[in-house]
Amino acid sequence: MKLLNVSGAAAATLFLSLTTTACAGGDDKDDVGSGGGTIKIGIKYDQPGLSLKKPNGSFAGFDVDVATYIAKELGYQPDQIEFVETKSADRESALSRGDVQFIAATYSITDERKQRVAFAGPYLLAHQDVLLRADSDISEGTDLNGKNLCSVTGSTSAQNVKNKIAPKAHLKEYSSYSECIAGLQSGAVDAVTTDDSILAGFAAQKQYKDQFKLAGLQLSNENYGIGVKKGDSRTVDKINKALEKMVRDGSWGGAVIRHFGRAHYHFELAPKIGDIKS
């Protein structure tokens, strides 16, 4: 499993040298959109580092960058994009209703979801992990026994930790990951668990500089894909081409470094289209 540690300019140079390749034949331009109208894209509004709506109404994060790049390849400029908040429970319905053209929102590709949604990608391979305070003496999963472990209400992440490595961990369920992070900062909980990309996004925020660390447990493989309405193979093909181009020209690596760099996130190289890790 190839991993890189994002930790600054040197890592950026190394990563871009690994992901940038010569592009034969020039750029292919899609005719979708033709520069007119708008495109509606589903994202999360509350995931720092991935997709966050700022107080001024703008959006930032890795998923936002991926979505914007795809939209550009489909023929849309940034001012033609309408980002629509699409919560996890409503993603399939939003696509089937036509509320959005595609979704980029930490959307893991699963066999169950593929019954209702078409997926492009994957564009990021994440893993369930645990976030700790920087001075924590927890060094392996079993050390979580007897500790307070936080996740959001209804998530299976904390139970996964109990089932796999720490059956005696004390589960604390909060309504949002922001509350879990605040609890970790204050000492109310000892660890927070969900996808490492989400945890890294929080840890990379300026207000949390050097306060947290990822344990690197890799308890699952989460293949993030772009959700598209079931049966729309034409759009899936176009998005896959856009994702491949984003990796080739270095934009993918630059976005990872920009949004996760301060968290020293051990991210994996961009996955190949259609390569789903079980």
The CATH number that applies at residue 44 is: 3.40.190.10
Q: Are residues 85 and 190 in the same domain?
A: no
Query: What is the DSSP secondary structure assignment for residue 17, as one 8-state letter?
Result: H
Q: Domain for residue 9, yes or no?
A: yes
Please name the residue that has the structure tokens 């991210």.
267
Q: Domain for residue 52, yes or no?
A: yes
Q: Domain for residue 278, yes or no?
A: no
Range of the domain at 204: 128-214
Q: Are residues 69 and 107 in the same domain?
A: yes
Q: Domain for residue 219, yes or no?
A: no
Half-sphere exposure of 181 (CA within 13 A, CB side): 22
Q: Are residues 99 and 152 in the same domain?
A: no
Helix (H) or strand (E) holding 255: helix 251-260
Q: SS3 of 256, please?
A: helix
Q: Are residues 103 and 15 in the same domain?
A: yes
pLDDT in tens, 172-214: 999 899 999 999 999 999 999 999 999 999 999 999 999 999 9
Q: Are residues 51 and 65 in the same domain?
A: yes
pLDDT in tens, 22-47: 333 333 333 344 456 999 999 999 99
Q: Domain for residue 277, yes or no?
A: no
Q: Structure pTM?
A: 0.84
240 sits in the region (left: phi over 0; alpha: psi -120 to 50; else beta) called alpha
Helix (H) or strand (E) holding 131: strand 128-133
DSSP 160-228: HHHHHT-TT-EEEEESSHHHHHHHHHHTS-SEEEEEHHHHHHHHTSGGGTTTEEE-----S-EEEEEEE
Q: Are residues 132 and 78 in the same domain?
A: no
- Total of domains in the chain: 2
